[in-house]
Homo-oligomer: A and B are copies of this chain.
Amino acid sequence: MVEIKNDRLLRALLRQPVDVTPVWIMRQAGRYLPEYRAVREQAGDFKTLCTTPELACEVTLQPLRRFRLDAAILFSDILTIPDAMGLGLYFTEGEGPQFKYPVRTAQDVEQLFVPDPERELRYVMEAVRLIRRELNGEVPLIGFAGSPWTLATYMVEGGGSKEFSRVKRLMFDQPPLMHRMLDTLARAVTAYLNAQVAAGAQVLMLFDTWGGVLSPRDYREFSLRYMEQIIRHLTREREGRRVPVILFTKNGGQWLEVMAESGAEALGIDWTTSLHDARVRVGSRVALQGNMDPSLLYASPERIRREVATILASFGHGLGHVFNLGHGIQQHVDPDQVTVLVEAVHELSRGYHSA
């Protein structure tokens, strides 16, 4: 078993005792950090930053130098997989991600394939290996991927969307074709995540950013089902340790009970559900990660500390809480506010673990 100096995250995800509640922040390597913006500028564009292992490694480590975070998360983009499938990912300033060749026809779907992670996505695996080496066992490294449904929304819409009308039309009118696409994506995500584990990732997270735009029925059939398929086929032991999986469906607060049956060790919770209620609903089946409103990082330090206290109290005593925001950190946040948050979580959570 490889030693991890700070294994709070792994222990909390497995609902084992910890000294204080672990904390990390979605998108912790991001634009709110001036040192990130400097590297990004040096890279020239976002895609170069993602595809250059040395730069991806550097920005992954940046937040750990500033804050006493309990985990690193691979710096990458959820759309690396469709890009590797040949859809031509590109980024326009202020526009978000776009695809040169969106998926529109049955033929487009048939041409999708499962990329070889060590070939088409080698730059990601190199970044994982590099980060693990640089981390030197300080904290665990989280690998991640987008959920098949979430990837499909971008691939069919050709980029971000507000109404998801194209992808939903495909889903409603041609469910077999949609399922075919999602199955290919599920196999691609599985291979990609397993390769991340082989390269050194110690925790895995599935980001289902857009599962929450579906009806309960469609969520189960077109999003959750494929995340379950992925989880069943993941490498779950590595370096003598369990590799825990975190499942996060943004706006999925209504479906926590079925998500808790997915096989994941933990569920990400956004701020529209209280941790108290979430815990009552999922019982001891899974750990919970969350759930501060990211906008609270614009409030005063006192207000942030008060919110941290409220969230810790909402989860209460007991095992299985990882502190995080309910969504990615926003770009205009002052980094000093993150220091306030991280210190508050460690300081104020001590009493919940002393028993």
Quick check: which of A79-87, A132-140, A294-302 contacts chain B, the rest being far away? A294-302
The answer to the question of A303 belonging to the interface, with a C-beta cut-off of 8 Å to chain B, is yes
- CB of A65 within 8 A of chain B? no
Cβ of A216 < 8 Å from any Cβ of B? yes
Closest Cβ neighbor of A253 among chain B residues? B254
From B165, B212, B213, give the contact of A330 (CB < 8 A).
B165
CB contact between A169 and one of B164, B173, B214, B299 (< 8 Å): that residue: B299
Chain A contact residues, majority secondary structure:
helix
By the criterion CB–CB under 8 Å, are A164 and B295 in contact?
A: yes
CB-CB under 8 A from A216, the residues of chain B are: 272-274, 277
Say whether A119 faces chain B, with CB atoms less than 8 Å apart. Answer: no
A168 to chain B, nearest CB (A): 4
Query: Known interface pairs A163-B295, A254-B254, A295-B164. Does A212 touch B172 (Cβ–Cβ under 8 Å)?
Result: no
Scan A200-242; emit 1 where CB is below 8 A from any B CB, else 0: 0000000000001111111000000000000000000000000
- B165–A271 touching, CB < 8 Å: no
Contact with A272, one of B164, B214, B296 (Cβ below 8 angstroms)? B214
Instruction: Tell me the nearest residue of chain B to A274, going by C-beta.
Output: B216
Q: Are the C-beta atoms of A173 and B272 separated by less than 8 Å?
A: no
**In contact, B330 and A163 (Cβ under 8 angstroms):** yes
A176 to chain B, nearest CB (A): 13
Within 286-308 of A, Cβ neighbours of B (below 8 Å) are at 293-296, 298-300, 303, 307
Known: A163-B330, A254-B272, A272-B251. A168 touches B215 (CB 8 A): no
Do B274 and A217 touch (CB < 8 A)? yes
The closest CB in chain B to the CB of A293 belongs to B215
Taken together as a complex, chains A and B put the C-alpha atoms of A298 and B296 apart, in Å, by 38
Interface flag for A332 (CB, 8 Å):
yes
Question: Which range holds the interface residue count of chain A?
Answer: 20 to 34
Chain B proximity of A353: nearest CB distance (Å)? 24
What's the nearest-Cβ distance from chain B to residue A221, in Å?
13
Interface string of A270-285 (1 = CB under 8 A from B): 0111100100000000
Q: Is there an interface contact between B298 and A172, defined as CB atoms closer than 8 Å?
A: yes
Task: For A254, give the chain B residue with the smallest CB separation.
Answer: B253
Instruction: Output the nearest chain B residue to A311 by Cβ-Cβ distance.
Output: B215
User: Once the chains bind, are B298 and A165 in contact (CB under 8 Å)?
Assistant: yes
Cα-based distance from A307 to B217 in the complex (angstroms): 12
Bits for A72-109, please: 1 = Cβ < 8 Å to B, else 0: 00000000000000000000000000000000000000
Contact of A173 among B172, B218, B299 (CB under 8 A): B299
**CB <8 Å contact, A215 and B271:** yes
Q: Considering the chains assembled together, what is the distance between the CA atoms of A330 and B164 in angstroms?
A: 11
Question: With a CB–CB cut-off of 8 A, which chain B residues contact A254?
Answer: 253-254, 272-273
A307 to B274, CA, bound (A): 32
**Contact A332-B165, Cβ < 8 Å, known A215-B272, A216-B272:** yes
Nearest 8 interchain pairs by C-beta:
A168-B295, A172-B299, A169-B298, A215-B271, A173-B299, A165-B295, A216-B274, A253-B254
Given A173-B298, A251-B251, 20 other A-B residues pairs in contact with their CB atoms under 8 A: A165-B295, A168-B293, A168-B296, A169-B299, A172-B295, A172-B298, A172-B303, A173-B299, A173-B303, A212-B272, A213-B272, A214-B272, A215-B271, A216-B273, A217-B274, A218-B293, A251-B272, A253-B254, A254-B272, A254-B273
Query: What would 29 A/B residue contacts be, using CB atoms closer than 8 Å?
Result: A163-B294, A163-B295, A163-B330, A164-B295, A165-B332, A168-B293, A168-B295, A169-B295, A169-B298, A172-B296, A172-B298, A172-B303, A172-B307, A173-B298, A173-B300, A173-B303, A212-B272, A213-B272, A214-B272, A215-B271, A215-B274, A215-B293, A216-B272, A216-B273, A216-B274, A251-B251, A251-B272, A253-B254, A254-B254
